[in-house]
Structure 1
Amino acid sequence: MPKNRDYDLIVIGSGAAGIIAAIVAAREGKSVLILEKLSKIASKLKATGGGRCNLTNTLDNEDFMARFGRDGRFMQDALKEFDYKALICFLDEIGVTTHVPDGFRIFPTSHSSLTIIKALEDEMQKLGIKIFSNERALRLLATGKHIDGVKTQNATFYAPNVIVATGGLGYPVLGAEGDGYNLASELGHKVTDLSPAMMPLKTKEEWVKNCRADTIAKVELRVDIKKHKKLRAKGDLIFTNTGIRGPVVLDFAREVTPLLKKYTEVPLLLNLTKGKNEEQIREHFKTALSQDSTQNILELLQTLLPQSLSIELCKLAQVNPDEKYNKIAGKKRDKLISLLAWTPLTVNGHDGFKMAMITRGGISLKEINPKTMQSKLISGLYFCGEVMNLDGPCGGYNLQWSFASGHLAGKLL
């Protein structure tokens, strides 16, 4: 392996962000080196969406940014240059066709991430991009306020431009160890608090393990802490042996895991009845009984919920599921209705970064120029993808952001 060789650009990390940054720069005639600490490139991209690779979605840029919260507008310039339509065109250029099977999420028609990786590899080879695997970046080299290169465990590589695209801490088995945070902080960049996100959550309540058979559609989750009442999400939920998962939980975990550090336990309220409030639930039962007055409470609840969940809610309300609805005491009936409208559940843990698809937190956006992705502290140093303090829900958001930020960083403006 040649030592001390000069390049126009060194990219640290070979995920979606790093690869597209390298391609953009190479297409502009730059000599590019990618340093990857694993033996193969794009390990996390390979696992995206269970290998099916949900690339992006069809939201317009304004709605897309809104899903990232208050910092979402940071990506305005990147998306203006490279939104989902531009990504589709880019993939088509390198031989990857895409489709939108549900009218929202965009996949390769092969539904295989390997299709994407092969096309990206072929494009990089065509452009003459050098890739050194098993090469861990140990330190960024800088003179004064300008980047000079990268020191690895094997060599020192020099370049006037370096892009840090190392990802976050999620899925450490795929190489995520927070390298980029250390590299950036050594040069003075602030790294915010880091929390695992997009993952299942554990609950204090054990009754959830009896409800694992069914997916509950259109559940609304709320944080039941006065200071955080505005935190809520909607989507499909699945009970597990130890807690909850499913699309709505994966999305909401990014809000809950930071709170666990502060409160140890995070009380939630779940609407499991597709948005029905207490009055609507009472009216629903009235209608159901008018059609069949012989139904007991369990049968009545099953007009709204699966049997396993109906049984557990009867237990929580201390109601005999075999009784007739009109025969139970008013207070118990009110408690049951209240539980149906908002079921309490207490999150008390998770499996950490080993099960997290993304990381909440990262290199402070205040120190990065959104028009270029260049550091405001060190010229020639750029960031892209998950290493920055910006994360979104599941559904192609984070991968689109990786591609868009990598595309902008690769321009070396």
Structure 2
Amino acid sequence: MNNDVYDLIVVGSGAAGLIGAVVAAREGKKVLILEKLSKIASKLKATGGGRCNLTNTLSNEEFMSRFGRDGRFMQDALNAFDHKKLTEFLSGIGIETHAPDGFRIFPTSHSSQTIIDGFANELERLGVDLKCEQKVEHLLTDNGYITGVQTENASYKTHNVILATGGLGYPTLGAEGDGYNMVNTLGHTVTDLSPAMMPLKTKERWQENCRADTIAKVELRVDLKKHKKLHAQGDLIFTKEGIRGPVVLDFAREVTPLLKKYNEVPILLNLTKGKNEEQIREHLKKVSLDTPDKTIVDIVHTLLPLPLSQELCKLAEIDGTLKYNKIEGQKRDHLIKLLAWTPMTVTGHDGFKMAMITRGGISLKEIDPKTMQSKLIKGLYFCGEIMNLDGPCGGYNLQWSFASGYLAGQLKN
């Protein structure tokens, strides 16, 4: 047993753990961070392709709504540390930020290394102890109180632990579900875990010929009777095996749990920027009248990239070289329906190795939202992805990590 007694031990050095450590240390607490990898913040470094979309400019109310029915859980954390307070905090440790599109907030360097360096310097300034290559295996307790942690080769004393071990996404960056195992043994409930924010595989193969273009403002919907309300909107890219792009990353968090239940999930894609059947019909008719020499593929190409236009004509069993008025009515109707809502079938994904976040986690019912402290174990705090709360792309999950870590670091017993 290490004889030093810490006021706080932080397990994990992602965004949530780092800010929790800084907040506690600024209050004069003796803090130790234990990180199982050789460097801090490996997953943070990879966030947003290394550009690090930190947060966004939404109001707290709108921000919470994007997390669904459990979003209200984060109200106290956001009140304590919203996007404005995050950017002020970062500025205070030498990290300037901006919102080039008026919504997503990045470091002005557009490099996650800037964030990591800023935190590393602040930890050093505050005298926080940092031990890398230290994998915590057990949380030590006595009569419902935290007493310390046990690593592979040492144990450390404390009365407060922040568990910031993240989820299961990107195991190569250290996410192995360590925290879930630790809290299970203490009586905490961990919900079903599903990979989220990832590309999806489809049964169809026609999309292989449409990989050159990004399709903007696509709407995706689940085509299952009980789940028709599930939808997302954004840019889409077709791949050899299925679909990806920002809209798919958002949509995957809804689809991956359904795949466990149904094995296949039928979806519908509006690829025509929200146009309905009547609007599409009018558009095709107008273009054919204005330019009577255009083939049907050329006319559809006024709405979509050429390869996609060709494939949708094939799906409607239409000869792409025909003029609009030469196509029989039934096939023309079929094409218009396909343009309004193109059906595809999601059949799988690459699992947690490609998942940016995890859907599911420690039950929110067992966590005090005012402090992030466990309702079962005194002195045990949670923050970030380990909890059963996840949001879409656009800085949502990182802001939640920072806000929950900030609140946990205040150690309100």
What residue in structure 2 maps to residue 102 of structure 1?
Answer: 101
What residue in structure 2 maps to residue 247 of structure 1?
Answer: 246
1:97-176 to 2 correspondence within 5 Å?
Answer: 97-176=96-175
Q: Give the SS at the match of 2:311.
A: helix
Pairwise CA distance, 1:290: 2.5
Q: d(CA) in 2 for partners of 1:289 and 1:335?
A: 17
Matched, 1:90 2:65: no
Q: Give the SS at the match of 1:335.
A: helix
Q: Which digits, 9 at most, give the CA deviation of each residue in 1:257-304, with x for residues without a partner? A: 000000000000000111111100011112212321111100110010
1:12-411 to 2 correspondence within 5 Å?
Answer: 12-411=11-410
Pairwise CA distance, 1:5: 1.9
Q: Give the SS at the match of 1:177.
A: coil
Q: d(CA) in 1 for partners of 2:286 and 2:325?
A: 13
1:202·1:243 contact (CA, 8 Å) conserved in 2?
yes
Q: Give the SS at the match of 2:19.
A: helix
Q: Which digits, 9 at most, give the CA deviation of each residue in 1:156-181, with x for residues without a partner? A: 10100001000000000000000010
2:16·2:406 contact (CA, 8 Å) conserved in 1?
yes
Q: d(CA) in 2 for partners of 1:161 and 1:97?
A: 32
Q: Give the SS at the match of 1:24.
A: helix
| Counterpart residue type for residue 375 of structure 2 | K
Pairwise CA distance, 1:144: 1.0
Q: Which digits, 9 at most, give the CA deviation of each residue in 1:34-82, with x for residues without a partner? A: 0100010000011111111110000000000000111000000000000
Q: d(CA) in 1 for partners of 2:2 and 2:160?
A: 17
1:18·1:163 contact (CA, 8 Å) conserved in 2?
yes
Runs of 4+ aligned residues of structure 1 deviating over 3 Å after TM superposition are none
Query: How many residue pairs align between the two structures?
Result: 412
Pairwise CA distance, 1:316: 0.6
Pairwise CA distance, 1:4: 3.4
Aligned-residue CA RMSD (Å)? 0.7
| Counterpart residue type for residue 208 of structure 1 | Q
Q: d(CA) in 2 for partners of 1:97 and 1:230?
A: 39
Pairwise CA distance, 1:199: 0.3
| Counterpart residue type for residue 321 of structure 2 | D
Q: d(CA) in 2 for partners of 1:195 and 1:304?
A: 36
Unaligned runs of 5+ in 2: none
- For normalisation by structure 1, the TM-score amounts to 0.99
| Counterpart residue type for residue 181 of structure 1 | Y
Q: Which digits, 9 at most, give the CA deviation of each residue in 1:10-47, with x for residues without a partner? A: 00000000000000000011000001000100000111
| Counterpart residue type for residue 4 of structure 1 | N
| Counterpart residue type for residue 95 of structure 2 | V
- For normalisation by structure 2, the TM-score amounts to 0.99
Q: Give the SS at the match of 1:107.
A: strand
2:2·2:157 contact (CA, 8 Å) conserved in 1?
no
Q: d(CA) in 2 for partners of 1:210 and 1:196?
A: 27
Q: d(CA) in 1 for partners of 2:183 and 2:382?
A: 9
1:4·1:155 contact (CA, 8 Å) conserved in 2?
no
| Counterpart residue type for residue 48 of structure 2 | G
2:358·2:385 contact (CA, 8 Å) conserved in 1?
yes
Q: Give the SS at the match of 1:261.
A: helix
Q: d(CA) in 2 for partners of 1:341 and 1:4?
A: 68
Q: d(CA) in 2 for partners of 1:48 and 1:7?
A: 31
